[in-house]
Amino acid sequence: MKQEAEESVRILIVDDEKVMQESCARVFLKEGYHVSAVYSGEEAIERFDRESFDLVLLDLKMPGMGGIETLQRLKEKDPGLTVLIMTGYPSIETAVKAVKLGAYDYITKPFTPDVLRIAVSRALERQSLIIENQHLRMQLRAKNEADVIVGQSEEMRNVYELVRRIAPTDSTVLITGESGTGKELIARAIHNYSLRENREFVAVDCSALVETLLESELFGHVKGSFTGAIHTKYGSFELANGGTFFFDEIGNLSLDTQSKLLRVIQEKEIKPVGSERAIKIDVRIIAATNQDLQQAIARKTFREDLYYRLNVFPIHLPLLKERKEDIPLLVNHFLKKYNRKRKIPVTKVDQEAMKMLMDYDWPGNVRELENTVERALVLEDGDTLFPQCFPWIVQSTRGRTLSINPGICSLEEMEKQHIKRVLTETKGHRGKAAHLLEIDRKTLYQKIKKHDLDK
């Protein structure tokens, strides 16, 4: 049972001695671990680029790339990697340096199989706790955030998997999709689940930036560098240092600004306007666009070299009409979000109303759906949303075959249908109907007579 539970654990042994490799491998294979072995730090880096490992057992003293340098290189590639050091040259100084650089612990050669087994078991247990804590923090954060990514369609599950894979790295990401599909939400999710989660997430809407002030906004300026520069200003890049910089609608940048951004990505430094001093920066860049950048390249409005710098890891977001099975989930999510300030929370959506929402094409995507739900809540005083709470959807779907009568669009007709529905639900009990409609009986009688419902 233990072997079955731990078969997925992958261990890489890095040691230049074949005897040491084989003895360690025997211990791990008995525990049911998957074992790989290499003879040098260079081989370890190459192997790590091709495969993933849960733990690396690393010798400190090796020809060529030593253990300390190998440790540093491995931790650069995966800061969360668990590394257990082996050394035949016990030294507090070396051990402390290794731990400071990110090693979990060290064991001194020669060691018994039991010592190795216990050390590895503790290291893997610690790693398991770290992963569990990260997962719990993600769940807690998701529960506390109003703006979370919602969807269970195959299209969105694919997006979630891409976010999961790319978030822990520092790779540049290009998110594509039409307006309203949630590109900034995906960018924030990548940041929140990355190792930069406790640093700044700075978002810049390129379509809203004034070109003449763009360089100052991005890179900052020194006092007196131009007319009106009465104070030294920190740019957005400097504010995002150590964190994530999100360029929304990057296709709107001018060619001149694209050129400057390319230099920032390549050189990892910025120069504030009016300053001769370059500032080193460490930011992860995520860009988003609703444009076809390859067509923009053909039109010569977007730099091809910048495109390939940004498009290291592409994520495309589907249209809402391509994942309609997510609409009920999204509607319920937005109800919870906007119910917080309501005296009577809306807890249900009428079946015909939901069908109407499912039949609509949503040219504005998720953002349009959210705005639609928010507006509907203004119209509804009860705990259920009916078709008449969405007059603009009814208007836009006129002529389609819906479960409500085609062509209904006037408020008067909607009022009639709503009262009729409530009377049906209350089996004609006018007192209950008036209570649900939050009007007095006299007003209800007048409306029944007005709409010729007393038959």
pLDDT tens sequence across 12-70: 999 999 999 999 999 999 888 999 999 999 999 988 877 778 899 999 888 889 889 99
**pLDDT of 430 over the 50 cut:** yes
pLDDT at position 87 is: 82
Contacts of 223 (CB under 8 A, 6+ apart): 229, 230, 231, 232
Q: How is residue 309 written in tokens?
A: 């710098």
Please compute the mean of the pLDDT values over residues 268-281 and round it to a whole number.
81
Please state, in angstroms and rounded to a whole number, the distance separating the CA atoms of residues 121 and 28: 10
- What's at 423, amino acid-wise? L
**195, 188 in Cβ contact below 8 A?**
no
Work out the pLDDT band at 112, boundaries 50, 70, 90.
very high
CA distance 246 to 262: 15
CATH class of this structure's domain 321-450 = mainly alpha
Q: CATH 1.10.8.60 in the chain, residues?
A: 321-450
Long-range contacts of 327-333 (CB under 8 A, 24+ apart): 327/354, 327/357, 327/358, 327/369, 328/354, 328/358, 329/150, 329/151, 329/152, 330/150, 330/151, 330/366, 330/369, 330/370, 331/357, 331/369, 331/373, 333/148, 333/150
Residue 418, pLDDT score: 77
51 burial level (CB within 10 Å; 0-12, 13-18, 19+): exposed
Task: Give the pLDDT confidence score for residue 103 in this predicted structure.
Answer: 87
DSSP 11: E
Please tell me the predicted confidence (pLDDT) of residue 79. Answer: 73
Q: What is the pLDDT of residue 452?
A: 81
Considering the chain, what percentage of its residues have pLDDT values greater than 70? 83
pLDDT for position 313:
93
Please give the Cα distance from 163 to 157 (Å, whole number).
10
pLDDT at position 221 over 90? no
Question: For residue 97, what pLDDT band results from cuts at 50, 70 and 90?
Answer: confident
Which part of the chain has CATH 3.40.50.2300?
Answer: 2-136
Q: Where does the pLDDT of residue 212 fall: very low under 50, low under 70, confident under 90, or very high at 90 and above?
A: low
Please, which pLDDT band fits residue 306 given cuts at 50, 70 and 90?
very high
Comma-separated ranges of CATH 3.40.50.300 domains in the chain: 154-318
CATH 3.40.50.2300 correct for 2-136: yes
Contact 16, 39 (CB under 8 A): yes
CATH superfamily of 154-318: P-loop containing nucleotide triphosphate hydrolases (3.40.50.300)
Per-residue pLDDT reduced to its tens digit, 368-422: 899 889 888 877 778 889 988 888 787 655 544 334 443 444 667 777 777 887 7
